[in-house]
Amino acid sequence: MKKLTVLFGVAALACATGAAHAQTTVTVFGVADMAYQMNTASGAGSQNLVINDGNTSSRFGLRGSEDLGGGLKANFHFEGAVALTTGAGGSTNVNNSGANLATGLFGRRSTVSLSGTWGELRVGRDYVPTFNNLTTAMHPFGTNGVGNAGQLFYPVAAGGTTARTNVRASNSIAYLLPADSGGFNGHLMVANGQTGTTGATADNGNYVGGRLGYAAGPLALAVATGTTKYSTGNYTQSNFGVNYKFGPAKLMYLYGKNEVGATNTSVNMIGTQYELGSGQIRAAYTMLKAEKVANDASQWTIGYVHNLSKRTALYGNYSVVTNDGVGKTFTVGDGLTPTDAGGNATGAQLGIRHSF
């Protein structure tokens, strides 16, 4: 990805010592992604929409680092969502169950960290460790578009608990293994709900989680789990992903489980990303089993991404979600929700993505 990089030289002489400060590198980056989407759902008719983020989440951000010497660096990362259809910014939230979303300039990520040969210590708002297995690293479509993993891999609210930490956590402290760890990668995080209360709700929104992975040659795998405490019923997200590069094909398997109080949904996905000239074919089939909440469901998706350059791509996706029995909980992307028992939903989209 070609980036616009601005170098700020801060070689100001100290009055008494004449010492110079280290140079700081700041990078401006972003993604612009829009698509035309057509949806149908049993009993709910059809709709045509112009949507954001059909392939990758649109964003704008700044990141940078300062070399402190001896292999130690200070880093920052500010990143916010952009809704290109309206020009609006993104949202943010605290970790507490049911807490309302609010406008957040850098709601995608806002962190400061220290890093060295020993790894990285990072503080702020960031992805939880379990989310990394839902991205295109372990799922053909990641968490964007009509085929996105979130439709079946995200939790279902139950018993008064609406989990807010299945993607990000605010008020977090995390440790990440260094890149040169013999193929291993790791991520540990704790986060504070900061309710400011005592008693039964004192831990509401507190999070702890971790991820351990291994990647070498054609093989990559990772396991992760995380739990958020809620007074209405704790939320635990766990998953395991593995993929293997076999010629032009990357074969992928992903398992996930969400437990909200006494309820749970477990999901299995098999899929592939197949390189074809300047493009990539993507396919996935997902099965969900539900216990004490919602209903069983399945989804299949096919898609294609065509790279016009290193920074610009055209894409198209088609997906079908089928609710089992009399269920009607699950749908495709931001599309219509079925109103017929045992109904299905479809989504098709054509879009463009540009990165800078």
CATH number of the domain at 198, please.
2.40.160.10
Give residues with Cβ within 8 angstroms of 79, minimum separation 6. 59, 60, 61, 62, 63, 106, 108, 109, 110
Q: What is the pLDDT of residue 12?
A: 33
Q: What is the pLDDT of residue 1?
A: 41
- Main-chain dihedrals φ then ψ at residue 37, nearest 5 degrees: -125, 140
Beta carbons of 272 and 295 less than 8 angstroms apart = no
| 3-state class (DSSP) for residue 53 | coil
H or E segment and range at residue 209: strand 207-216
Residue-level pLDDT at 333: 83
For the chain, residues with pLDDT lower than 70 are: 1-22, 98, 200
In the 8-state DSSP scheme, what is residue 289? Answer: E
Model pLDDT, residue 8 = 34
Q: Is 201 helix (H, G, I), strand (E, B) or coil?
A: helix
Query: pLDDT value at position 113?
Result: 98
3-state helix, strand, coil in the chain (%, to 5): 5, 55, 40
Q: Cα dist. 32→52, 59, 192, 226, 353 in Å?
A: 9, 7, 32, 31, 6
| Strand 219-228 versus strand 235-246 pairing type | antiparallel
Label residue 195 left, alpha or beta by phi (over 0 means left) and psi (-120 to 50 means alpha).
Answer: alpha
Number of domains observed in the structure of the chain: 1
**Domain of 109?**
4-355
SS3 117: coil
Per-residue model confidence (pLDDT) at position 22: 58
